[in-house]
A and B are shown apart, each in its own frame.
Chain A
Amino acid sequence: GENVEQHPSTLSVQEGDSAVIKCTYSDSASNYFPWYKQELGKRPQLIIDIRSNVGEKKDQRIAVTLNKTAKHFSLHITETQPEDSAVYFCAASPSGGSYIPTFGRGTSLIVHP
């Protein structure tokens, strides 16, 4: 089955700095890569996603890049703010079958004011 590795497990930055979280996946059949943000005690919520036919996608301060050949994708957050502090999960989902998203172990992002 799919295996998703996510790094780093913890990321501490100063407000205004950029943050980058990296993930790798193993199943070449995966074609959908969502990123979820989970604030303390709350449910994971989608913040951005990318499909395998696209190399990069941007939404305001958040961008995601995908390298299908190397099987890795990354989340970039620019001009970080304290409210960006949360746990971020990457996931990979195959193109058929049960479409089950496999999640990475999460990155705890701490943005210091």
Chain B
Amino acid sequence: DSGVTQTPKHLITATGQRVTLRCSPRSGDLSVYWYQQSLDQGLQFLIQYYNGEERAKGNILERFSAQQFPDLHSELNLSSLELGDSALYFCASSPQGQTRVNTEAFFGQGTRLTVV
């Protein structure tokens, strides 16, 4: 168990709909990353939050947004869903930025989103 919790584990929804994925980071970690993993694809970085503020953006579509709340949990909102958005969405947390030393990112179990 990595200490990172993601809900739900599975989500099936129709095109055009909107969904929210939730992530609770490891206790004490201020950094949360969201990654998208499509079939046969690597881990595509979407967005990072640090202590409630957006820190960096990757290849995140305008239809997608995220936020991190005061209790440090994060939500990824996906709207106007398309078939191509079907993927495994991972949240990861780390103490990056809290020390001067790079450390590993701890991944949640992921949310498998299927758009039909």
Q: Which residues of A contact B31 (CB under 8 A)?
A: 99
A98 touches B107 (CB 8 A): no
A43 CA to B90 CA in the complex, in Å? 8
Query: What is the interface size of chain A, counting residues whose CB is below 8 A from a CB of the partner?
Result: 25
- The bracket for how many chain B residues form the interface is 20 to 34
A99 touches B107 (CB 8 A): no
Given known contacts A43-B109, A49-B104, A105 and B42 CB-to-CB distance under 8 angstroms: yes
Task: Give the Cβ gap from A33 to chain B, nearest Cβ, in Å.
Answer: 9
Given known contacts A89-B42, A100-B48, A45 and B2 CB-to-CB distance under 8 angstroms: yes
B102 touches A51 (CB 8 A): yes
Q: Which residues of B contact A104 (CB under 8 A)?
A: 42
A105 touches B45 (CB 8 A): no
B2-42: CB near A (< 8 Å → 1, else 0) gives 10000000000000000000000000000101010000011
- Contacts beyond the supplied A6-B42, A93-B102, A98-B55: 8 A-B pairs with Cβ under 8 Å: A31-B102, A43-B2, A43-B107, A43-B108, A45-B107, A99-B31, A100-B45, A103-B45
The 9 A-B pairs at the shortest CB distance, nearest first, are namely: A32-B102, A99-B96, A105-B42, A98-B56, A43-B107, A103-B43, A46-B104, A98-B55, A106-B42
| A to B CB contacts below 8 Å, 20 in the list | A6-B42, A32-B103, A34-B104, A43-B2, A43-B110, A44-B43, A45-B2, A45-B107, A46-B104, A93-B102, A95-B102, A99-B97, A100-B33, A100-B48, A100-B58, A102-B45, A103-B42, A103-B43, A104-B42, A105-B41
